[in-house]
Structure 1
């Protein structure tokens, strides 16, 4: 080619796009977030560009990333259509679960008693199982008299169990709620805390109080606790009791010894439901002491009508960083 000859112009490939239309402009505003921060968050985490054109959103980028962003947007919009507000962490949760695909696995709502819809409204917000594992867990809580929820922190094991317990209590299916935890961290420190025994153990039971406070007004909760219709007590206080017509939750069960676990499981009485929750990665027992949760899992997993439900970091519903922290520790343990 002679010097100075013109080279043919190169054709620029226009970025491919996906267009989504949202009929309700009010919901679209909620979907985009204040100053379009939700769109910016999705752009950053999927590597796409999102343009707003009236009641449409155009997603530009590589095909896989476009599809991922579109799934997340559709799933979030579906939540808004159902009257469920978007909360912190919803975008990360949808990205981890694959967006709308996860919603389609079990339908819009979890089917419970004879095909009824499951939904719990607290004073602050509506509570629902969101991931496939949580939906299976809640179904198991209703279907089985004894149920285990095993997995990392932040996956809703205890919160959903208490939610179901309150629902069954209000519905008249049980006469009382009993929540318990091993006071392992207390140990010899209990004697140095001020007050009577209740004052000493209450700090270790606080997560259970927090869950109940989300479901029942303070005065109503105080009255029910005064009447012993709702009890919160250390695991050691369960010895010698028969827990009949009650919804019973043992939280942090990985810190129960084998003998404590056997004692607790054999408290199950007529008309009762029992839930055991725990995280095998957070055992605080002294070195050489076997976790009762691990033993129960080994011995009882083949018994019919006992539900075992497992969670992973993908089911974390707390701050998005919690899932990343759990995954980092899991990777380190495996490496």
Structure 2
């Protein structure tokens, strides 16, 4: 049972001291701290920074501090963008509104290992530029697609499942690994939501 004392304890400000040099900090925070603002908006917390010291206030302050540390680990290797922050928040389910799920997530979420784009070695060839996975889960997803004949991707909308699958298909065509791509309609009930694609059901399927 949630008591007034436990609610007050959760609402106390959380202070995070970030290690690393100025480049590492800039990789995390983004231009004019844009990444931090995106994190604060996405988690409905108040976030302020003085140098390497970040103060977080709000009901989800403790969870936000853990998410911030996770992004901090990823920022060792590359500069994070607003898209990286949004994608990371979607992957850990921050957008879910149920209080029970938020509390479970705060208790059970384990930090993912940082993703090193240079050492990972996965790159999909396109006409504009090479595409690389942005998160450890995307990396695992691509590895499975490349190593297996059939791969099922399950997860929240907006995490790159369809986008990465299409990118893999285009990459295979560019490398002459395959000669033909076969696109099939999803087998769903009428009215069911179909991922992150724009438009209504008819526009997505037809």
TM tier, shorter chain?
0.5 to 0.7
Aligned position for 1:71: 66
Alignment deviations for residues 140-191 of structure 1 (CA, whole Å, 9 cap, x no partner): 3233245566887852243342366279x4xxxxx543243xxxxxxxxxxx
Residue 55 of structure 2: aligned partner:
58
4+ aligned runs moved over 6 Å, structure 1: 150-153
Structure 2 gap segments, 5+ residues each: 1-8, 95-108, 202-206
Counterpart Cα distance in 2 of 1:45 and 1:150: 22
Asked whether the equivalents of residues 124 and 132 of structure 2 are also in contact (C-alpha less than 8 Å), the reply is yes
Which residue of the other structure, out of 32, 40, 44, is the alignment partner of 1:47?
Answer: 44
Normalised by the length of structure 2, the TM-score is 0.58
Deviation, 1:281, is 4.7
Partner Cα separation in structure 1 for residue 29 and residue 146 of structure 2: 37
- Counterpart CA distance in 1 for 2:145 and 2:133 is 14
Give the SS at the match of 1:120.
coil
* C-alpha contact 1:119 1:127 (8 A) present in aligned 2: yes
Q: Of Structure 1 and Structure 2, which has the larger fraction of its residues in strand? A: 1
Label 1:35 to 1:158 Cα distance change in 2 as closer, same or farther (>3 A): same
Match of 2:29 in 1: 32
The residue that corresponds to 2:165 in the other structure is 158
Q: Is the 8 A contact 1:15 1:61 kept in 2?
A: yes
Q: Which has the larger radius of gyration?
A: 1
Residue 66 of structure 1 and its aligned partner are, at CA, apart by 1.4
Q: TM-score, normalised by structure 1?
A: 0.39
**What is the Cα-based RMSD across aligned positions, in Å?**
4.2
Deviations 1:211-230 (A, max 9, x none): xxxxxxxxxxxxxxxxxxxx
1:95 aligns with 2:89: yes
